[in-house]
Amino acid sequence: MTIYSTTGRGALYNSIVETVGDTPCVKLNRTGPPHVSMYVKVESFNPLASVKDRLALNIIEAAERDGTLTPGQTVVEATSGNTGIGLAMVCAAKGYPLVITMAESFSIERRRLMRFLGAKVVLTPKEERGIGMYNTAKKLAEDNGWFFARQFENAANADIHESTTGREIVADFKGTALDYWVTGYGTGGTVTGVARVLRSERPDCKIVLSEPHNATLIGSGVAQERNTDDSPTGSHPAWEPHVIQGWTPDFIPKVLQEGIDRSFFDEVRPVDGTKGMAIAQHLAANEGILTGVSGGSTLLTAIEVAESAPEGSVILVMLPDTGERYLSTPLFEAIPAEMNDEELALFASTR
Ligand code: PMP
């Protein structure tokens, strides 16, 4: 069905934050083996174009509710980008100053977007990894009396995926089969929160968790050591730098630990992020759907699951963000800015 007329959304919104969530699940028509149906949940429909808008909103609103965040107080967070962009949107809309700590290795457009949204971005050396970003944010919070969002430990993270993302999936697949749900993890908020819902409402749905093939933290079976405040004591031995921005930090986050402890996934599959990038480009060119490296990698995992899935299986794949967030990264490296021979010939034919 193509919509040619509309009655609008049937509501006026009082703030951009009210538009977070309710992202569409869209069928793929030219991707994956023909004996299955594949759907993608397109998180780029969120106002700042990623799944992390959800957690950003809930971390701020949960802290407003319990009084740990006071009007005008500065918010600080360590993030690889999407959480910072989401927080920058929420903080701008609600009037909180925001300071982000981010490893210098993440994409330039992420820093500039956050600064455009009014946030300050403190870059940390890439050798210090995710833990360096985290410790810098923690020190700034302690020294200045700021509110530390702590997405890796904050219960408000998985909670919002339980109350929104998971509920949306159950509502949209009401009366329809749902055999597999495929996702990756960064903090683990998405998998833990959605799985709480799927395990009770759709117990037959298999949950497949994907992680970088050169950073198989869960696949290794090695437990994460933690401090008393739930933060990691150090890098996990199975971690290596990988190309999937936003996925698998160098430690197993506390939020993800609930998912591990409660057996919230039926299978963990390693994926090659470079191959995931090729799938992201396939998705753009064949389905008209723009996603980033994590979305491409999740989709590649889902296609591999699909190949051995029974006839008629229905598979839902999370697409956490948009491809536009990666213009300066290897995702777009092979895409030329200049005309190729065919384009030059087309131009020449008009002269
Ligand atoms: N993909 C991207 C691009 C992300 O930024 C994130 C969040 N860091 C994820 C996937 C994973 O989401 P979650 O933190 O809920 O596990």
pLDDT of residue 80: 77
Residues 278 and 175 placed together within one structural domain of the fold: yes
Residues 206 and 106 placed together within one structural domain of the fold: no
Residues 218 and 177 placed together within one structural domain of the fold: yes
Residues 192 and 268 placed together within one structural domain of the fold: yes
pLDDT of residue 106: 80
What's the order of all strands across the beta sheet hosting 120-124? 120-124, 98-103, 75-78, 147-148
Residues 192 and 95 placed together within one structural domain of the fold: no
Q: Which atom of ligand 1 is nearest to the CA of 245?
A: 3
Round to whole Å and give the CA distance between 33 and 37.
Answer: 8
Residues 178 and 217 placed together within one structural domain of the fold: yes
Name the residue of 23, 51, 218 whose CB sits within 8 Å of the most ligand 1 atoms, as the mutation to test its pocket.
51
Residues 37 and 59 placed together within one structural domain of the fold: no
Residues 87 and 191 placed together within one structural domain of the fold: no
Rounded to the nearest 10 degrees, the angle between the axes of helix 189-201 and helix 254-261 is 30
CATH value at residue 93 = 3.40.50.1100
Can you give the residue range of the structural domain that contains 213? 16-45+167-332
Does the residue 64 lie in any domain? Answer: yes
Closest CA to ligand 1's atom 5 = 246
Does the residue 228 lie in any domain? Answer: yes
Does the residue 28 lie in any domain? Answer: yes
The answer to whether the CB of 287 falls within 8 A of the CB of 31 is yes
Does the residue 343 lie in any domain? Answer: no
Name the residue of 42, 247, 256 whose CB sits within 8 Å of the most ligand 1 atoms, as the mutation to test its pocket.
247
Q: Which atom of ligand 1 is nearest to the CA of 79?
A: 8
Round to whole Å and give the CA distance between 258 and 283.
Answer: 32
Q: Which of 98, 120, 148 is the last residue of a domain?
A: 148
Distance 185 CA to ligand 1 centre (A): 6
Q: How many domains does the chain have?
A: 2
The answer to whether the CB of 30 falls within 8 A of the CB of 286 is yes
- Told to judge if 52 belongs to the known catalytic residues of this protein, a careful annotator would answer yes
Q: Which residues of 2-23 are buried (b: 16+ CB within 10 A; e: fewer)?
A: eeeeeeeeeeeeeeebeebbeb
Q: Per the residue annotation, which of 41, 52, 206, 254 is the catalytic one?
A: 52
Tens-binned pLDDT, residue by residue, of the chain (351 aa): 676 778 898 899 999 999 999 999 999 999 999 999 999 999 999 999 999 999 999 999 999 999 999 999 999 999 978 999 999 999 999 999 999 999 898 878 889 999 999 999 999 999 988 888 999 999 999 999 999 999 999 999 999 999 999 999 999 999 999 999 999 999 999 999 999 999 999 999 999 999 999 999 999 999 999 999 998 999 999 999 999 999 999 999 999 999 999 999 999 999 999 999 999 999 999 999 999 999 999 999 999 999 999 999 999 999 999 999 999 999 999 999 999 999 999 999 999
Residues 215 and 307 placed together within one structural domain of the fold: yes
Does the residue 246 lie in any domain? Answer: yes
Residues 276 and 133 placed together within one structural domain of the fold: no
Residues 190 and 295 placed together within one structural domain of the fold: yes
* Dihedral over Cα of 130, 223, 55, 242: its sign: positive
